[in-house]
């Protein structure tokens, strides 16, 4: 918590997220925030611990527009999203979403949990912890992080607000 309260750079937020990811037994993480809100300047920030080849692939294909995790956050949801609960058929672009999820698994992003934050200034953020393991193998780790995940995400988000001078 002290690291989160004092983080003063993107690099320090990356270290914080990486340490949380490792401590919880996950392989990858990503924190993303959309500061595009009525009372603040427009800014999107990403702190990624994803494989760089996946991140490039994701961006080249514009997957942000169909990513179910992003959709969950932009719908202003407050509860964690366990990836195993994602049903591509619930999306208007179900075939694209199913392909997206299959490709993510091909890159090792197999199971995970995402914690949304809805900020006081209208911003939306998400912190995801991801495993290469199947959901069955990762289920205990996912269940274990659920009680603290939302609180940890709030600390990360507050650090991001400070670093990106939004707060």
Q: What is the full DSSP assignment across 132-161?
A: SS-HHHHHHHHHHHHHHHHHHHHHHHHHHH
- In the chain the domains, ranked by start, together with CATH numbers, are 2-163 (3.30.450.80)
Rounded average pLDDT over 55-64: 92
pLDDT averaged over the chain? Answer: 89
* Contact in structure between 110 and 141 (CB atoms under 8 Å): no
Which of 166, 69, 157, 82 is closest to 118 using CA atoms?
Answer: 157
**The predicted structure's pLDDT at residue 40:** 52
Q: 71 and 101 in contact (C-beta within 8 Å)?
A: no
pLDDT at 5: 76
pLDDT tens readout for residues 132-152: 999 999 999 999 999 999 999
User: Beta strands 44-48 and 81-82: pairing type?
Assistant: unpaired
Distance from C-alpha of 152 to C-alpha of 159, rounded to nearest angstrom: 11
pLDDT per residue as tens digits for the range 27-59: 999 999 987 655 555 678 899 999 999 999 999
Question: Which residue in 30, 40, 37 sits closest to 64, CA to CA?
Answer: 30
Share of the chain above pLDDT 70, in %: 93
What pLDDT is recorded for position 58? 94
pLDDT digits (tens, 9 = 90+) for 67-79: 999 989 888 889 9
Closest listed residue to residue 68, CA positions, set 92, 34, 45, 40: 92
pTM of the predicted protein model:
0.91
pLDDT at 15 over 70: yes
């Amino acid at each position: 918590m002290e690291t989160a309260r004092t983080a003063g750079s993107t690099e320090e937020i990356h270290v914080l997220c990486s340490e949380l990811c490792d401590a919880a037994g996950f392989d990858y993480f990503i924190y993303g925030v959309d500061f595009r809100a009525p009372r603040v300047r427009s800014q999107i920030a990403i702190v990624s611990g994803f494989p760089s080849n996946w991140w490039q692939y994701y961006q080249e294909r514009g997957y942000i527009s169909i990513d179910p995790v992003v959709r969950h956050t932009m719908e202003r949801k407050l509860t964690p999203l366990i990836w195993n609960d994602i049903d591509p058929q619930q999306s208007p672009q179900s075939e694209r979403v199913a392909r997206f999820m299959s490709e993510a698994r091909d890159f090792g992003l197999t199971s995970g949990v995402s914690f949304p934050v809805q900020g006081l200034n209208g911003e939306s953020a998400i912190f995801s912890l991801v495993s290469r393991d199947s959901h069955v193998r990762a289920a205990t780790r996912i269940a274990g992080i659920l009680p603290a995940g939302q609180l940890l995400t709030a600390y990360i988000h507050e650090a991001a607000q400070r670093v990106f001078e939004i707060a």
